[in-house]
Chains A and B, each alone.
Chain A
Amino acid sequence: MKPPRDHAHAATPASPDPAQGVIEEVEVRGHIIDSLMLPKILDRILLVGASFEIRECKIGERRTDPSYARIAIRAHDPSALAELVGDLVEHGASPVHSEDATTVLADIAGAFPEGFYSTTNQPSQIRVKTRWIDVENQEMDCGIVVDHATPRARCVPMCRVEVGMPIVVGHSGVRVSPLERPREASGFGFMNSTVSSEKPKAIGVRSVVDAIRSTRAEGKKVLLVGGPAIVHTGSAMHVARLIRAGFIQTLFAGNALATHDIEQAIMGTSLGVSIKDGQPIEHGHEHHLRVINMIRRLGGIEQAVDSGLLTTGIMYECARNHVDLVLAGSIRDDGPLPEVITDVLAAQDRMREALEGVGFALMVATALHSIATGNLLPARVKVVCVDINPATVTKLADRGTFQTIGLVTDVEPFLRLLAEELAPGT
Chain B
Amino acid sequence: MSNPSPPRILMCPPDYFGIEYEINPWMNIRQGADSDRARDQWRLLRETLLDLGAQVRLLEPKPGLPDLVFTANAGLVYRDRFFASRFRYGVRMGETPFFIEWAQAEGFQVETTPDDYHFEGAGDALFCGDTLFAGYRLRSDARGHQWIGERLGVEALPLELVDPRFYHLDTCFCPLERDLAIYYPGAFDEYGRAVLKDQIPRLIEVAPEEAISFSCNAVVVGRTVVLNEGAPKLARDVAAMGFATRPLAFSEFIKSGGSAKCLTLRIDGEEAAGWKAPSAVDTKKDTHSRV
Contacts and interface: CB of A to CB of B under 8 A. Distances in A.
Nearest to B149: A30
Nearest to B154: A64
A406 to B, nearest CB: 37
A61 B158 CA distance: 19
Nearest to B157: A35
B191 A63 contact: no
A60 B154 CA distance: 12
Interface stretch (A88-96, A184-192, A363-371): A88-96
Contact of B285 (A3, A35, A36, A63): A63
Interface string B141-176: 111011001100111111110000000000000000
B83 to A, nearest CB: 15
A332 interface: no
Contact of A40 (B149, B154, B191, B285): B191
A305 interface: no
Interface string A75-95: 000000000000001111010
B272 to A, nearest CB: 17
Given A1-B194, A63-B286, A37 B155 contact: no
Contacts of B136: 90-92
B190 A64 contact: no
B169 to A, nearest CB: 13
B198 interface: yes
A36 B195 contact: yes
B96 interface: no
**In terms of DSSP, what is the predominant structure of the interface of chain A?**
loop
B1 interface: no
Nearest to A28: B146
A34 B157 contact: yes
A234 B161 CA distance: 73
Given A36-B195, A91-B160, A66 B286 contact: no
Interface in A1-24: 1-4
A206 interface: no
B30 interface: no
A59 B195 contact: no
Contact of A35 (B130, B150, B158, B190): B158
A340 B195 CA distance: 69
A4 B155 CA distance: 21
A283 interface: no
Contacts of B159: 35
A40 B198 CA distance: 16
Given A34-B199, A92-B142, A92-B143, A63 B288 contact: yes
A33 B199 CA distance: 12
B291 interface: yes
B253 to A, nearest CB: 29
B155 A2 contact: no
Interface in A52-81: 59-60, 62-64, 66
Nearest to B132: A31
B3 interface: no
Nearest to A3: B291
Contact of A66 (B130, B150, B191): B150
Nearest to B155: A31
B155 A63 contact: yes
Contacts of B142: 37, 90-92
Contacts of A59: 290
A7 to B, nearest CB: 10
A178 interface: no
B276 interface: no
Contacts of A37: 142, 158, 191
A66 B149 contact: yes
A1 B194 CA distance: 9
A36 B143 CA distance: 14
Contacts of A36: 191, 194-195
A39 B285 CA distance: 22
B195 A33 contact: no
Contact of A62 (B149, B191, B195, B286): B286
B146 A92 contact: yes
A35 B286 contact: no
Contacts of B130: 63-64
A30 B156 contact: yes
B289 interface: yes
Contacts of A3: 191, 194, 291
A91 B130 CA distance: 23
A140 B149 CA distance: 43
A2 B191 CA distance: 10
A201 interface: no
A29 interface: yes
Nearest to A91: B142
B291 A2 contact: yes
Nearest to A33: B290
Contacts of A66: 146, 149-150
B223 interface: no
Contacts of B246: none
30 contacts: A1-B289, A1-B290, A1-B291, A2-B194, A2-B291, A3-B291, A4-B190, A30-B158, A31-B146, A31-B149, A31-B155, A33-B291, A34-B157, A34-B195, A34-B290, A35-B159, A36-B191, A37-B142, A37-B158, A39-B191, A63-B155, A63-B285, A63-B286, A64-B154, A64-B155, A89-B143, A91-B142, A92-B141, A92-B145, A94-B143
Give 6 nearest A-B pairs by CB, closest first: A30-B146, A92-B142, A35-B157, A36-B191, A33-B290, A40-B191
Given A3-B291, A29-B150, 16 more contacts: A3-B191, A30-B149, A30-B158, A31-B149, A31-B156, A37-B158, A63-B285, A64-B154, A66-B149, A90-B142, A91-B142, A91-B160, A92-B141, A92-B143, A92-B146, A94-B143
